[in-house]
Chains A and B, each alone.
Chain A
Amino acid sequence: MTWLVPVPIVVPLIGAALSILAGRSRGVQRTIGVTCLTIVSMASVALLVTVEQGGMIVARAGGWPAQMGIVLVADRFAVVMLVVASLMLLGVLVYAIGEPGAERNHVGFQSAYLILAAGVSGSFLTGDLFNLFVAFEMMLTASYVLMTLGGRNDQVRSGMTYVVISLLASTLFVTAVALIYSATGTVNMADLAGRMAELPPGVRSAFAVLLLVVFGIKAALFPLFFWLPDSYPTAPSPIVAVFAGLLTKVGVYAIIRTQTLFFPPDSRPGTLLLWIAGATMVVGVLGALAQDDVKRILSFTIVSQIGFMVMGLGFFTLAGVAAAVFAMIHHIVVKTTLFLTGGLIEHAGGSSRLTHIGGMVRTTPLLAALFLLPALSLAGVPPLSGFVSKLALVDAGVASQQYAIVGVSLIVSLLALLSMIRIWAGVFWNPAEEETEPAVAAEGAEGRRSGPLLMITPTAILVVSSLAIAAAAGPIYAFSERTAAELLDPTGYVAEVIER
Chain B
Amino acid sequence: MTIVLAATAATLFAVGTYLVLQRKLSRIIIGLSLLTHGANILMITSGRRGAPPIIGRADPSTFADPLPQALALTAIVITFAVTILLLALGYRSWLLTDDDEVEDDLADRAIARGDILRKEIADQETFMSHEHGDAGP
Contact = CB atoms under 8 A, between A and B. Distances in A.
A153 B99 CA distance: 12
B25 A177 contact: no
B78 A144 contact: no
Contacts of A153: 96-97, 134
B74 A134 contact: yes
A296 B110 CA distance: 13
Contacts of A159: 89
Given A178-B42, A179-B46, A167 B82 contact: yes
Interface stretch (A98-106, A285-293, A389-397, A463-471): A285-293
Interface in B18-33: 20, 25, 28, 32
B92 A292 contact: no
Interface in B83-137: 85-86, 89-90, 92-93, 96-97, 102-103, 105, 107-108, 111, 116, 134
Contacts of B108: 230
B71 interface: yes
Given A134-B74, A134-B78, A156 B43 contact: no
Nearest to B42: A178
B36 A145 contact: no
B75 A174 contact: yes
B116 A174 contact: no
B116 A292 contact: yes
B60 interface: no
A178 B45 contact: yes
Nearest to B68: A181
Interface in B60-89: 67-68, 71, 74-75, 78-79, 81-82, 85-86, 89
Given A134-B78, A160-B93, A187-B71, A293 B20 contact: no
Contacts of A182: 45-47
Contacts of B96: 153, 156
Nearest to B70: A130
A137 interface: yes
Interface in A125-164: 130, 133-134, 137, 141, 144-145, 148, 151, 153, 156-161, 163-164
Nearest to A296: B107
A88 to B, nearest CB: 25
Interface residues on chain A, size class:
35 or more
Given A167-B32, A178-B45, A181-B47, A156 B68 contact: no
A31 interface: no
Given A134-B74, A292-B116, A163 B43 contact: no
Nearest to A183: B46
Contact of B68 (A144, A161, A167, A178): A178
A498 interface: no
Nearest to A182: B46
B92 A156 contact: yes
Given A156-B93, A177-B71, A187-B71, A163 B45 contact: no
Interface string A286-327: 000011110010000000000000000000000000000000
Given A134-B78, A167-B82, A177-B43, A160 B111 contact: no
B61 to A, nearest CB: 15
23 contacts: A130-B74, A137-B82, A151-B92, A153-B97, A156-B92, A156-B93, A159-B89, A160-B102, A163-B82, A163-B85, A164-B28, A170-B82, A171-B32, A175-B38, A178-B68, A181-B43, A181-B67, A181-B71, A187-B71, A230-B108, A290-B111, A291-B111, A292-B111
Given A160-B25, A164-B28, 10 more contacts: A134-B78, A153-B96, A153-B134, A157-B105, A167-B32, A167-B82, A177-B71, A178-B42, A178-B45, A181-B47
Interface of B: 20, 25, 28, 32, 35-36, 38-40, 42-43, 45-47, 67-68, 71, 74-75, 78-79, 81-82, 85-86, 89-90, 92-93, 96-97, 102-103, 105, 107-108, 111, 116, 134
